[in-house]
Amino acid sequence: MVAIVDGSITKFGKRKESLLQLISEVGIPLVKKYEIDFVIVSNTYSGELNSISGLNNLATTYLGIDKVPSIRVDNTSGSGGSALLVAKSLLDSKMANTVLVIGAEKMSEKSTKQVTSVIASLLPREERMAGLTLPSLAGLLSKEYMKRYDAPREAFARVAVKNHHNGSLNPYAHVQKEVSLEEVLKSPVIADPLTLYEFTPISDGACALLMVRSEDSYSFTKKPVFIKGIGTASDTSSISERENILSLNSVRNAGVIAKKTAKVEKVDFAELHDMSTVLEIVQAEELGLLKKGEGWKAYFDTVTEINGEMPINTSGGLNSKGHPIGASGVAQAYEAFLQLRREAGQRQVKDARTGLSLSMAGFGNSATVLIYGEEP
């Protein structure tokens, strides 16, 4: 088993700093405090969006640790979870004793249209030629969910209201303001029926975690957070070949593996990959956090709120906190770290002892689920 013993995060949003400056902002405080054996940089689009290659080696140079080995992990929007998986493997194999995981992305230098086009490149060429993008798939998923489960349109908007409330309590969130149900429903339509406030903003940002083996963790901090289980799974990248658009097989299978290895059936909170609001509901159902086909009902009461029975996206989620793609999965783990150390401030979940995060690539192309605990 491995543990997270320290972390650092930038504010997410449209940042004037360069990608390497954002990496330095989170990395230098940890490099100054600890001896680092290995650096993993979670990043997807440094080439396409910033014209940078060899990012991991540039990062170690900027951090002043040129001789420390490093790699860059790219698994599109699931890069953060994959980076944590690699870090765990390095520690379990004893190839390293301390691993610094840095997730970072600088996306605001390009237009929304350019960024959307770059991200859509993870889909097969034939589907891109037919006009599919990640937002359009979310719209299709919403329509199918409403049709199959008789869910009202309002349910998805309520996810955005809840997540923007949580984001307003997070000083690192991109969008730090609450929105009303009416504001969500009346905002511009992005992919029918979903509107502007139901999609994540294009963000810049970085997050870093220091990971060690569990048996060493208490020599670093009195409050380590343990990764009790991790599961990863894949599915076809071709959406048209899937039997059911409502079934995110990679998410469900990764969740089963993570819970089995952690020997945990129930968690106290979860950070999910809400690139769009509908995904939060579908993912929660696939992971057994909410009942299949009835997850939407939880958003008409307090079930998924910070003080509810199953708090989801206490950080504000990708929807409000932001989605600097390489940083997103790492930031989910950082939120779990804060929650289990009782350091989440106004977002604190009462009596939180176990947590879950889902780092998803593409539209369920692959997924990594992590289970966290305050005890090993």
Predicted pLDDT of residue 240: 87
Residue 261 pLDDT > 90, yes or no?
yes
For 329-350, what is each residue's pLDDT tens digit? 999 999 999 999 999 999 999 9
Mean pLDDT over the full length of the chain: 97
CB atoms within 10 A of CB 8: 18
Options 3.30.565.10, 3.40.50.1820, 3.40.47.10, 3.40.50.720; CATH of 1-108+200-217 = 3.40.47.10
| Pair type for strands 70-73 and 38-42 | parallel
The model carries a pTM of 0.97
Q: How many helices (H) and strands (E) does the chain have?
A: 14, 11
Arithmetic mean of pLDDT, 232-241: 94
Indicate the domain borders of the chain. 1-108+200-217
Q: How confident is the model at residue 130 (pLDDT cuts 50, 70, 90)?
A: confident
- Rounded CA-CA distance 33/148 in Å is 53
Amino acid at the residue 138: A
Q: What is the pLDDT of residues 141-168, one digit of tens each?
A: 999 999 999 999 999 999 999 999 999 9
Please determine, for residue 131, whether its predicted confidence score (pLDDT) is greater than 90. Answer: no
pLDDT for res 279: 98
CA separation for the pair 85, 82 (Å, rounded)? 5
Over residues 305-332, the pLDDT tens digits come to 999 999 999 999 999 999 999 999 999 9
172 — pLDDT class (breaks 50, 70, 90): very high
Nearest to 41 by CA among 13, 68, 15: 68
* pLDDT mean over 275-287: 98
Q: What's the pLDDT tens digit per position in 194-218?
A: 999 999 999 999 999 999 999 999 9
Sequence-ordered list of residues with C-beta below 8 angstroms from that of 237, at least 6 positions apart, any chain = 122, 123, 124, 362, 365
Q: How far, in Å, CA of 373 to CA of 354, rounded?
A: 4
Backbone angles phi, psi at 303, to 5 degrees: -55, -45
- The token duo for 292 is 């299949």
Token pair of 334, please? 């950082």
pLDDT value of residue 132: 85
79: pLDDT strictly greater than 90: yes
Q: Look up residue 253 and give its two tokens.
A: 């299978």
Best CA proximity match to 278, nearest among 114, 186, 153, 171: 153
Using 50, 70 and 90 to split pLDDT, how confident is the model at 82? very high
pLDDT tens for 212-225 read 999 999 999 999 99
32 confidence band (pLDDT: 50, 70, 90)? very high
Distances (CA, A) of 298 to 213, 285, 301, 305: 37, 11, 6, 9
